[in-house]
């Protein structure tokens, strides 16, 4: 007993000295890094045929060295004994999805879960954890959820290492009430910050299933995005029609989601104002169409809604081509993954290349460093670079030649910890 106590007493200062890591709230990555920093680890050497660094560069051969959850060295000439010798593989930064709804799932009756289907909170939370796990196994090490109040618990449990999943950023409940006064909206933005939201999510237009026209007024958008800016918070806005995009950009909002009906004028406007654009080419629409029986008859998942999504597919691909050719427009990566799509997020990368005409390297840069930058996390994640968090994945072959290799991510490291090694 005495020696046990002595051992424990000796251990305390060691833990205390491992603690001083800057934590800037709200930042889920700082929280997760804090967890890994407690375990001092020997250097991990990962060797592969090539490294796609997430910033548009491809390094042939070499080692990535990881220590205490961070990338500490990139050796262009392989030396030393590798911990992981990934011959035939390419290393990439962990992928980032700016728009995924982990709380959406199919219930045990094989139907889209709604609040009225009788599922318990436990069943819902287990489904969320399963979605998070599937997403991490697919190579996505950070996601942003816009949003659900339950995200917060999942975010904390993943960050503390208790549940395997990608780092989660969340808006908590989104803003979609078109009848609220601007002052009420401002107060609710401040409340969302207090509740621990990482970002403010706003609906400025109807769903694609209902035509996508503007819903929030210019005054309401100004109140929401203006107050968020005053509070130091980012804003992401669901907007399909050109008028709703224009209103959101002019209100000072930071990021536009979807934009199926975006014309050249608003694409240029977003570029001029430095607003991030997060369009989708296929996965979200195809996933609904492929899983039609599971959604059909709930809310606007009806005949007209499915017809609208069918029509959106070619429109979205054509709009995406115009978006990536708009000079200066920062096109980031978000899938709008819902029930049925979790773990298949990379399908959106495949169709950005195949249907949207983007080069694989540009698509990868978008889904790594550019999306990290949109989250104000460019100094922490989104690249294989010195000092960044060791979120590293590997695929067999060369994803810059064949984007479909990303359908089969076989190695996943997050924060220096290996979660998957299935080679």
What residues make contact with Zn ion under the rule CB under 5 A?
A: 336
Decide whether 65 or 323 has the Cβ nearer to Zn ion: 323
Burial of 121 (0-12, 13-18, 19+ CB in 10 A): exposed
Q: At a CB cut-off of 8 Å and minimum separation 6, what does 42 contact?
A: 67
Q: Could you tell me the smallest distance in angstroms from the CB atom of residue 171 to Zn ion?
A: 10
- Residue 214: closest CA among 174, 259, 252: 259
CA–CA separation, 188 and 337 (whole Å): 26
β-partners of residue 175 are: 202
Task: Report the C-alpha gap between 164 and 150 in whole angstroms.
Answer: 16
Contact between residue 266 and residue 242 where contact means Cβ atoms under 8 Å apart: yes
Closest CA to 317 of 366, 358, 345: 358
Contact (CB, 8 A) for 98 and 370: no
Residue number of the CB closest to Zn ion reads 336
Minimum CB–partner distance for residue 55 and Zn ion (Å): 27
Shortest separation between residue 236's beta carbon and Zn ion, angstroms: 10
Q: Tell me how far, at minimum, the Cβ of 100 lies from Zn ion, in Å.
A: 8
> Least CB distance from residue 386 to Zn ion, whole Å?
35
Closer Cβ to Zn ion, 243 or 336, answer by number:
336
Nearer to Zn ion, 89 or 295 (CB): 295
Residue (30 or 207) nearer to Zn ion, CB: 207
CB of 369 to Zn ion, least distance (A): 23
Whichever of 336 and 380 has its CB closer to Zn ion, that residue is 336
Q: Find the shortest distance in angstroms from Cβ 238 to Zn ion.
A: 7
Residue 210 beta carbon to Zn ion: minimum distance, rounded to whole angstroms: 14
95-97 β-sheet, strand order: 95-97, 140-145, 167-170
- What is the closest distance, in whole angstroms, from the C-beta atom of residue 336 to Zn ion in the complex? 4
Query: What whole-number distance in Å separates Cα of residue 166 and Cα of residue 141?
Result: 4
| Length of the chain in terms of residues written | 423
**55 phi/psi in degrees, rounded to 5:** -115, 15
Considering the complex, state which of residue 192 and residue 258 has its C-beta at the smaller distance from Zn ion: 258
Query: How deeply is 181 buried, as exposed, middle or buried, from its count of CB atoms within 10 A (0-12, 13-18, 19+)?
Result: exposed
Closest residue by Cα to residue 359 from 402, 406, 409, 315: 402
In which element (H, E) is residue 156 found? helix 151-159
Which CB, 84 or 306, lies closer to Zn ion? 306
Q: How far apart are CA 369 and CA 390, in angstroms?
A: 14
DSSP classification of residue 208: G
| Of 93 and 147, CB closest to Zn ion | 147
How is 104-124 classified by DSSP, letter by letter? Answer: --B-TTSSB--TTS---HHHH
Give the whole-angstrom CA distance, residue 105 versus residue 66: 35
Of residues 225, 202, 224, the one with CA closest to residue 214: 202
Closest CB to Zn ion among residues 148, 336: 336
In the complex, the smallest distance separating the C-beta of residue 64 from Zn ion, rounded to whole angstroms, is 34
Closer CB to Zn ion, residue 227 or residue 336?
Answer: 336
């Amino acid at each position: 007993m005495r020696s046990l106590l002595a051992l424990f007493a000796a251990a305390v200062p060691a833990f205390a000295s491992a603690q001083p890591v800057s934590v800037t709230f709200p930042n889920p990555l700082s929280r997760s890094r804090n967890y890994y920093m407690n375990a001092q680890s020997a250097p991990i050497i990962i060797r592969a045929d090539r490294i796609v660094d997430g910033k548009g560069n491809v390094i042939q051969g070499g080692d990535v060295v990881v220590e205490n959850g961070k990338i500490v060295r990139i050796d262009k000439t392989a030396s030393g004994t590798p911990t992981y010798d990934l011959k035939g593989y390419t290393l990439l930064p962990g992928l980032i999805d700016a728009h995924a709804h982990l709380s959406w799932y199919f219930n045990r009756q094989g139907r889209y879960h709604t609040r009225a289907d009788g599922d318990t909170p436990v069943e819902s939370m287990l489904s969320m954890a399963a979605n998070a796990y599937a997403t991490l196994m697919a190579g996505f090490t950070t996601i942003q959820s816009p949003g659900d109040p339950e995200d917060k618990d999942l975010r904390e449990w993943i960050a503390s290492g208790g549940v395997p999943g990608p780092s989660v950023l969340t808006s908590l409940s989104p803003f979609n009430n078109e009848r609220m006064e601007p002052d009420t909206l401002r107060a609710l933005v401040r409340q969302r910050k207090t509740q621990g939201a990482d970002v403010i999510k706003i609906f400025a237009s109807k769903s694609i299933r209902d035509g996508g026209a503007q819903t929030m007024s210019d005054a309401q958008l100004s109140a929401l995005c203006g107050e968020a800016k005053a509070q130091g918070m980012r804003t992401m806005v669901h907007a399909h029609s050109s008028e709703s995009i224009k209103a959101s950009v002019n209100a000072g909002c930071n990021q536009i989601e979807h934009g199926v009906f975006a014309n050249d004028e608003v694409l240029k406007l977003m570029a001029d104002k430095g607003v991030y654009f997060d369009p989708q080419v296929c996965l979200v629409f195809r996933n609904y169409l492929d899983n039609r029986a599971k959604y059909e008859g709930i809310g606007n998942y009806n005949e007209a809604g499915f017809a609208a999504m069918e029509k959106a597919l070619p429109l979205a691909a054509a709009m995406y081509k115009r978006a990536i050719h708009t000079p200066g427009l920062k096109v980031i990566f978000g899938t709008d993954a819902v029930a049925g799509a979790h773990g298949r997020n990379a399908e959106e990368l495949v169709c950005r290349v195949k249907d949207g005409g983007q080069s694989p390297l540009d698509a990868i840069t978008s889904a790594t460093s550019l999306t990290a930058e949109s989250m104000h996390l460019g100094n922490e994640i989104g690249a294989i670079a010195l000092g960044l968090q060791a979120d590293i994945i590997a695929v067999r072959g060369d994803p810059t030649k064949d984007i479909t290799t990303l359908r089969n991510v076989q190695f996943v490291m997050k924060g220096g910890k290996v979660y998957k090694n299935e080679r």
